[in-house]
């Protein structure tokens, strides 16, 4: 039975391939470009149009900051720079790809050089942000984390290669390998204290973002809806990113 079924499938595949190969009517190609999200959002096969796809490999360079109760924005050191790299499927929803859906996979690194001390509290397994102590003299304090995420975007753009674009969407992902390093000076000696891992680091990331620009370049902003630390007594710190994006193709 299985042998007969296999032979029937092979014969059907051969006949369909032979029929397609012998066809000289270019209009028949459209039957291999169906609707329902593959070529554009229609129920029927699309007409032969050149729906170019854009923003499939995107790099972000961001200024990272804390956002939360009692936090003043854009007060951190200028070197608080992070990055994201994202690989997208650009799914056209209109014939000229003026509206599209972007979904993919991304990886990012956050770096915040701040002017406070990020301290782990062993008693209640929380994390608080406190002012620098007078002794030892703190030179700098840096928070770092990494994330793996799935971005989803609704993309609007004008027709043509040199198009104006506006993307709005969100990301859901996993945060890991968070650390904090404190560089201090005491009696003329430089010291570094590094903390790897936090009791209450929230591994889940849920954020919203937007991107607006022309062709390959865009300004971008992102805000974390979930705070970095989830203990009730922890300092509420949500992530904020503001930067530029470049799309390679």
Calpha distance 235→133 (Å, rounded): 18
For residue range 72-123, list pLDDT tens digits in order.
Answer: 788 888 999 999 999 999 999 888 889 999 999 999 999 999 888 888 888 8
Calpha distance 115→98 (Å, rounded): 44
Q: Nearest CA to 240 among 57, 58, 114?
A: 114
Count of H-run helices and E-run strands, the chain: 1, 11
pTM exceeds 0.95 for this model:
no
Calpha distance 37→219 (Å, rounded): 28
Q: What ranges do the domains of the chain cover?
A: 36-41+52-247
So what's the pLDDT on residue 1?
A: 52
Q: What is each CA distance from 241 to 6, 11, 213, 224, in whole angstroms? A: 55, 57, 17, 9
| Rounded to 5°, angle at Cα 29 from 28 and 34 | 105
Calpha distance 23→35 (Å, rounded): 22
Residue 202 CB coordination number (10 Å): 17
Residue 18 banded pLDDT, cuts 50, 70, 90 = very low
């Amino acid at each position: 039975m299985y042998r007969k079924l296999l032979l029937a499938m092979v014969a059907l595949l051969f006949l369909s391939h032979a029929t397609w190969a012998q066809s000289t009517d270019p209009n028949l190609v459209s039957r291999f470009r169906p609707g329902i999200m593959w070529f554009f959002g229609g129920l029927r096969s699309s007409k032969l149009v050149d729906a170019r796809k854009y923003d499939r490999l995107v790099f972000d360079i961001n200024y990272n900051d804390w956002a939360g109760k009692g936090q003043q924005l854009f007060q951190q050191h200028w070197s608080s720079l992070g990055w994201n790299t994202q690989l997208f499927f650009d799914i056209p929803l209109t014939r000229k790809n003026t509206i599209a859906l972007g979904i993919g996979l991304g990886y990012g690194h956050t770096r915040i050089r701040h002017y406070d001390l990020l301290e782990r509290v062993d008693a209640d397994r929380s994390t608080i942000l406190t002012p620098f102590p007078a002794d030892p003299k703190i030179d700098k304090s840096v928070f770092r984390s990494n994330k793996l995420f799935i971005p989803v975007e609704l993309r609007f753009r004008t027709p043509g290669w040199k198009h104006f674009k506006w993307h709005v969407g969100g990301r859901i992902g996993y945060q890991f390998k968070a650390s904090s390093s404190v560089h201090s000076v005491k009696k003329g000696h430089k010291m570094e204290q590094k903390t790897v891992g936090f009791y209450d680091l929230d591994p889940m990331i849920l954020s919203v973002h937007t991107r607006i620009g022309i062709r390959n370049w865009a300004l971008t902003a992102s805000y974390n809806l979930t705070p970095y630390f989830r203990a009730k007594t922890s300092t509420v710190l949500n992530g904020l990113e503001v930067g530029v994006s470049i799309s390679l193709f």
